[in-house]
Each structure stands twice: as C-alpha cells, then as structure tokens.
Structure 1
Amino acid sequence: MEVERAFWGLKFKVKFLEATGNEFQVLVQRIMELRFPDEFVTIKPAGRDGDWKNDGLLTDQRRMLQVYAPEGWKKSRVLAKIDADYLGAAAHWKDTFDTWTFTHNDMRGIPPYVLDRLNQLSKSTDNPHHCDQWGYAKLRELAFQLDDGRLVELLGPAVTLSHVLAVEVQDIIPMLRSLEDVAPAPLANVRPVPPDKLEKNALSEDAELLLLFGMRRSEEVGRYFDRQTMRPLFRDDLGARFTARYVTFREEGLEPDEIVLALVEWIAGPLVTPKTQAAALAIIAFFFEQCDIFEDPSKGTP
C-alpha cells in the first residue's frame, strides 16, 4: 500500500496545483461527493439565478463551501468577493448552514487580510455564521480518508509494488526507442549522484518514495544500455534528451513533483497503465541517479 499511497499523493498534489477556476471547483466537489456521498449536495447554477453563492453544502455539518481559485491574490478583489459571496449565501441560505468555508487552491496558504476578514465576519453581530477556510492540507486529508476504490475514481489507478518489481528490459525498450524521435540536444555529462540529491530538489515524500522504488528496477535500464555495443553514445544521447525535457519543464514553471509526473507521461505515451508508469519510473530513476535530470547539489543545474 505504501507505493500506491505515494503515487496517489503525488497525483493529488499535481492535480491540486494545476486546477484553476472551474477545474478547482469540480475537484473540490468531487472530493466532497466521494467522501460524503450521503451528505454533500452540489448546487447546479440555474441560468440567471446562478447557484445563489453556494458551491456545495455538507448538510449534516451544516457547512457551506465557497470555492475560490485565484491565480494571484489582489487584496481589493478577493475581499470584495468574500463579502459578496458570504452575504449572498446568507441572504439565500441563512437557516441552512452554520459554517461558511472559504475553500482556496493556494498551497502556500492565505494572505493575513483574508483571515482577518473571515474573523471579522464571524464576530459580526449582523452575521449568524462562523467563517473559516480550507486549503491543500484539509482537502488532502479528506481525499485520503477515501478507500482505495474511491481514490481510483478520484485519481486513477495507482502504480503498485508488484508493478515496479515486475518491470523487465522488454517493458523499457519500447519507451527508450520512442525517445529516439525526440529532437537531439547537446550531450550531457554523466555524474555520480550526491547522497542528498532527493532532499536538495525539494521533492515531497511521495515523490521521493516513488523514485526510490523506481531505483529498484533502474538496473534494468542500465543493463539495456550496456548491451548497446554498436551504439556507444546511445545512453548519452538519451540522457541529453532527458536533460532538455527536464529543463523545459522547469523553465515552464513546473514544481519538482509536477516534473516527476510530467516525465512519466512523456515517457509512457498515450497508453498509460500502471505497468507502463512503473517502467517509466524505472527510467526516470535511472537518469535521476545519473544526474541527467533534476538538480545536482554539488554542480548546480544539469
């Protein structure tokens, strides 16, 4: 279960990071529907009436959610939205909820003026409701209270230890060959892996665990390269392509955990299964160990 939970943990983090606007609202509502199937009510916008400022209601908890997914925090805009959304919800649903929860998609937390406004609303004698906030930690907690079947519904099938241990050379060869079609890049230097590389790259525990499990089969990748006696530069050429792809993802602003999954998808191709993902993790672990991808603390960027 350790591998599955790590894989789902990484998938959840990336899904959370990448969800903005309506995508984030759909994600939050899906978590609530799966976690509280007999309690959560999704409110569907109805033409000009909209949703009456209600993004979902937990009936037993008497908690109303208002989902906000900003790409940035502009003080005047966010405070105006909090006021308008809360007052609109109170006007339509006053006797239906006791707690109004501002639910956001910023992993770093909320600005102090947002918390201050929520506290002001909670203490106001004009407002009969408590106002609080939920972010990444709370949504992840609720998601991982789900059983494995519902986690599959939310995040898709997970790589398991059996998938990792079953990886053989024949699983890796098609992926490596497909990478030969990627535009070549300057050859990268192969360097030993520093012992603190995982930590220095600010990878989450889930990402670290997946790479460590991938390393249990990365020798299969090395064995394949060792057999390429007629193509002595094959390994270095693919390493350069990995370097170029990693740098592209990094320059696009992806976080380290996002890059791990992006590389899995890049290697595994369109027919993604837990087995192909396990093989992709073995390849990524190989080039990670060889310092073709991610940051080498002793040398800087690759």
Structure 2
Amino acid sequence: MSIVLNPYSRPEEWMAEFARLLPEETVHLWPDVGEPSDVEFVIAWIMPRAALRDLPNLKAVLSLGAGAEQWQKDGMPDVPVVRLVDPAMSDEMATYALAWVLRLQRRFEVCEAQQRDGVWGDVDYTQAWKYRVGILGYGNIGARVGQAFLDLGYPVNGWSRSGGDDPNVTHYVGVDELDGFLANSDAVVNVLPSTAATTDLLDATRFEQMREGSILVNMGRGTVLVDDDLIDALDNGPLATAVLDVTDPEPTPPESAFWTHPNVILTPHVAGSTQVRSASELVAANIIRIREGEQPFPLLDRSRGY
C-alpha cells in the first residue's frame, strides 16, 4: 500500500521528512501515483478531485494547509479529511498580528514621517492596557494570537460561534454578539476560515459598528469581507487602516484598489506558512493513528466548513 504526496513547494524536503518519519511506507510524489489501487493516503495542499476519485482504496486526505475550503467542493470522494493545525504556523501568525497591530497602535508611521521631515516631536498613542484587540475567530489559531497580546498586557476580545473558556478573554458568541464585539475592539484581527457562514460577514453594516479610528488585520480569508465596503469604511470612516494578507481572489488583481489605497497595507499571504518539519510530524502521526485503528485529528467537519 502507498501514499501520494503533493506539496506546493520544496518537494525534496517533504519527501525526506516522510522517509524519516514513515520509513516502511511507499511515498509517491505527485503526479506519480504508482498503482492507483494501492494508494491509501493523499497528503496535499490541493489535489484534482478527479484524481482523488481514481483512487479506489483511498482512506483519508491529510491537508498541508490551515484552510479547508479546497476539500469541500463538489466531486470530493467521501473520505475523512484531516486538517493541519500546526502550533508553529499559529506562532508565525501571532507574530504577524503583533507586528502590525503594535506598529499602528504605537503610531510608528508618525515617527517615520517625522524622520523624513527632519522633525523631533512627541507621538501620542493609546497605551496597551487601554487598547482592546479583538480576535475574530477564537479557535486554535485565534487563541494563540490572543495569548500573544495578553502576554503584552493588551485586553483581548474573542468572537466565535461556540464560545470559549479563557477567563482572561472577553468572549462574544454567535452572530447576535458580533456587533458588540466589533464596537468594543480597537483592532480587529480576522482569522476566520472561508465557509458559507463567513462569506461577506464583514460588510458595510458590520464596518459601521467598528470604533472610529480602528484597524483591521485580515489574515484569515479574503472572502470574509466585502472589498468595496471596506474601501468605503476606509474613505469615510470609521476604519483608519486595513492590513490585508489575504484577498479574494489571489493574487490580488492589478485593478484592485488595495494596491494603491493610502490606508491599505497589502502583503502576499505570508502571515503563516506551513513548516515542513513540524507539519510532516503531525501528518505522519495521524497516518500512524489510522494504521493502528485510532481516530486521526482534527477532522474536517463538512457541516461547519472547518
């Protein structure tokens, strides 16, 4: 029996890691699949659904990315999909959020402008203990991001559909409490995945609830917000700045206003990347669990979209 590996980059590194971790397994590098009837596992960020359907004994798909929308399209075979929840990636995303929120909260752009103008002047800013950071999507990644801000003394709001139990966080639950979450956050950091329920969640009505001068950091999915409504909120308030690591579609189209808007900071989906060593260890551990008759985790819940 065998495994098909389809990484989006660094195939030699991935192959070497799985040879180390699963020495008794036969691993084929896509597009080579060997004998299709021998394939039991596919490890990939994305894979043609027709190719998956051609594997009659496929037991599971193990994702190499944090997102799961690519595994929920029509034509997917009815096999478990194991999501990748890698603490190393969560740490990277936490540092991305910290970097931009701190830069804007401390108003370092004012310091840069003063330097260009040859000015030595004071810079007023809101202190951390009074600057409330809201994490939109308080799951595994969101909790890690939230903890990073808590460690520096920032008060943290967390919004999710199911709630949370961290007593150090002010939790908002469900759509009915979303407006309150937005209204009580100076910075909103979005880590929500792309699902039917999150598509266009942040529209003009939601942006109107946000605090005057607030900032948005989107490192979840571009589908969560309505682009034109975001631009309007930046032009006319209440938003001061949007930091966008994700857009819909990607790459960001040349005609998008995001490229040139003075209050948009655009980065090319670099908030968190899959780490070969840590991710391969998590994936290999799940394959061993399945081989031993145990349940892999975390499994994609198709009804929820993540």
TM-score in same-fold range (> 0.5)? no
Higher relative contact order (CA 8 A, sep 6+): 1
Length-normalised TM-score, structure 1: 0.31
Determine which structure has more spread, i.e. the larger CA radius of gyration. Answer: 1
Greater fraction strand: 2
With normalisation by structure 2, the TM-score equals 0.30
Relative to total residues, which structure has the larger helix share, 1 or 2? 1
